[in-house]
Amino acid sequence: MKILFDQGTPAPLRDLLPNHDVSTAYELGWSTLKNGELLSAAESNGFEVFITTDTNLRYQQNLIQRKIAIVVLSTTSWPRIKPNTSEIIAAVNQSSSNSFIEVNIPFDD
């Protein structure tokens, strides 16, 4: 699966998705694109999943016409995300075209 990480998505998460082709918005030179432009660029470049930490994305964008699956993480904190990677991997694996999945990362484990 071709996955795009948004700006706030911790890059070390990439290592836990070895069976996927992961790129970051920064690597692609897309770090200055606004959310709508970024989602359009991702879709036109064949990305299937967009992982973001922008918990307001659902309210800022009309996602109905989107083909890309969106996985939203509730934090940018790698120390909090790391022990919850199984939930993130499950969300990625169950995502499908135009799906929207929120992964709530707890404050304490």
Q: Is residue 86 one of the residues assigned to a domain?
A: yes
Q: Is residue 108 one of the residues assigned to a domain?
A: no
The arithmetic mean of pLDDT across residues 16-32, rounded, is: 94
The arithmetic mean of pLDDT across residues 70-83, rounded, is: 94
Length of the chain as a residue count: 109
Q: Is residue 109 one of the residues assigned to a domain?
A: no
Kind of pairing between the strands at 49-52 and 69-73: parallel
Q: Is residue 65 one of the residues assigned to a domain?
A: yes
**Mean pLDDT rounded to a whole number for the chain:** 91
Q: Is residue 82 one of the residues assigned to a domain?
A: yes
pLDDT digits (tens, 9 = 90+) for 42-66: 999 999 999 999 988 877 777 778 8
pTM: 0.92
Q: Is residue 79 one of the residues assigned to a domain?
A: yes
Q: How many domains does the chain have?
A: 1
Domain that holds residue 31: 2-103
